[in-house]
Amino acid sequence: MLKVEKISRFYSQRQAALHDISFQVNKGEMVFIAGASGAGKTTLLRLLYLDDKPTSGNIILDKYDYKNLAGSQIPKLRRRIGVVFQDFRLIPDRTVAENVALPLEVVGKSSKEIKRKTDESLKLVGLWPKKNSFPGQLSGGEIQRTAVARAIINDPLVLFADEPTGNLDEHNARALFDLFKSLNVLGATIVVSTHRLDLAMEYGRRILRLESGVLLDKEPYEFHRQNRKRDRSRHQDRIYHDSGDFYNNFPGDADAGDSMGIFQEPDDRGKRSKRKPDG
C-alpha cells in the first residue's frame, strides 16, 4: 500500500535531514517510526502526508506516485490521508463536533452525512458526550482523541500520527496507543512516529528506528515477540471509552472521501487477530 523508495531530504549540501530511506507498509499494518528528538521523524511524516517533497527518491501510496503527481491530484490524495498533527490544529472557537466535521464540510458533504460520520467518529474514540464542548474545555488526552476523530472521519487509506504522545502524561499516552490498537484491529493502516521506543515495542507489531536521519537495519523484533501474545489479547476487542489548514486545501467534489476506510469490514489479517492467543 505504502512504498518509500530511497528518499533523502537535504536542507543544504551539508545538512541531511533524511538519507536513503526505504521501507514498505502493507494494508492493515500498524507501524511505528521510533527515534530520539532530531532523528528525522517529523521530516519523514511531512513527506508521507505531502507537506514537503523529498530531495531525491519517491513515495507511492496506493495508486498514487508522488513523483508524478499533478498539482490537481495533491488535494484529492490528501482527502484520502488522515493526519494527527503534533500541534493538534484544532480551531478554538469550534466545538469538538465542529472540529471533527471540518474535513467533510470543506468538501461539500451533505448535513446528514456530516452528522452521521461525525457521531460515528466521536463514538469510536469515546468522545461523543463531549461533542458540544470547546477545545479549551478538554483535557490533553481528549484534545488528542478529538484530533484522531477528525483524522479518521473520511475513512482514510492510511492514518499518520506525528509524535501524538509528546504532550501527554503516561496514562493518556497509553490510552491513545490503546485507541490506535483498536483502530488497527478494525482494519486501519496506521503509521505513528514516536520518541517512546518502550511504548512502540509494547504496542507495535513492527518498528522502524531512525537515528540522525538514517533508518537502522535491525529492528527490535525479539522484545516485540515476547509481548505480542499479551498485546493481542489485551487490545483486540477493545475500543477506548474512558488546524484545518491541511483540510482547507481540499476543493469540494463528488468523490471526496470515497476511500477504502477504517469503518469497512476488517480484512483477513484483522479477522485472524480475533483468535484466542496461544497458551
Q: What is the DSSP string of 130-186?
A: GTT--GGGS-HHHHHHHHHHHHHTT--SEEEEESTTTT--HHHHHHHHHHHHHHHHT
- pLDDT above 80 (res 276): no
Rounded Cα gap, residues 92 and 169, in angstroms:
22
Q: What is the pLDDT of residue 257?
A: 34
Nine-digit cell at 92? 478554538
- pLDDT above 70 (res 228): no
Burial (Cβ within 10 Å: 0-12, 13-18, ≥19) of residue 171: exposed
Rounded Cα gap, residues 238 and 261, in angstroms:
19
Least confident piece of the model among 42-46, 182-186, 225-229:
225-229
The answer to the question of residue 258 being in a domain is yes
CA torsion, ordered 12, 18, 19, 20, to nearest 10 deg = -130
- pLDDT above 50 (res 149): yes
Nine-digit cell at 258? 470515497
Reported residue count of the chain is: 279
Confidence of residue 50 (pLDDT cuts 50, 70, 90): very high
Number of structural domains found in the chain: 1
Residue 51 or 277, more confident = 51
Q: From its phi and psi, is residue 148 left (phi > 0), alpha (psi between -120 and 50) or beta?
A: alpha
Least confident piece of the model among 150-159, 190-199, 262-271:
262-271
The answer to the question of residue 99 being in a domain is yes
* Amino acid residing at 236: Q
The answer to the question of residue 167 being in a domain is yes
Confidence of residue 29 (pLDDT cuts 50, 70, 90): very high
The pLDDT tens digits of the residues spanning 72-127 come to: 889 889 989 999 998 889 999 999 999 999 999 988 999 999 999 999 999 999 99
Mean pLDDT on 192-199: 94
Which domain does 253 fall in, by range? Answer: 26-52+74-272
Mean pLDDT on 242-263: 38
Query: What CATH number is associated with residue 229?
Result: 3.40.50.300
The answer to the question of residue 15 being in a domain is no
The answer to the question of residue 3 being in a domain is no
Q: What is the pLDDT of residue 12?
A: 82
The answer to the question of residue 163 being in a domain is yes
Residue 15 or 236, more confident = 15
Most confident of 151-165, 219-233, 251-265: 151-165
Rounded Cα gap, residues 209 and 196, in angstroms:
11
What is the per-residue burial (b if ≥16 Cβ within 10 Å, else e) of 108-124? ebeeeebeebbebbbeb
- pLDDT above 60 (res 221): no
The answer to the question of residue 65 being in a domain is no
Q: What is the pLDDT of residue 218?
A: 53
Mean pLDDT on 61-68: 93
Reduced to 3 states, what is the DSSP secondary structure of residue 76?
helix
Rounded Cα gap, residues 15 and 29, in angstroms:
32
DSSP state of 12: S
- pLDDT above 80 (res 248): no
Q: Which backbone phi and psi does 204 adopt, to 5 degrees?
A: -90, 150
The answer to the question of residue 19 being in a domain is no
Q: What is the pLDDT of residue 185?
A: 93
Sheet holding 206-211, edge to edge: 81-84, 158-162, 190-194, 30-34, 206-211, 214-215
Helices 170-185 and 221-235 cross at an angle (nearest 10°) of 80
- pLDDT above 60 (res 63): yes
Mean pLDDT on 234-262: 37
Average pLDDT, the chain: 82
Rounded Cα gap, residues 128 and 57, in angstroms:
42
Confidence of residue 273 (pLDDT cuts 50, 70, 90): very low
Q: What is the pLDDT of residue 4?
A: 97
pTM, 2 dp: 0.78
Mean pLDDT on 42-71: 94
Rounded Cα gap, residues 259 and 248, in angstroms:
19
Of 114, 78, 123, nearest to 259 (Cα)? 78
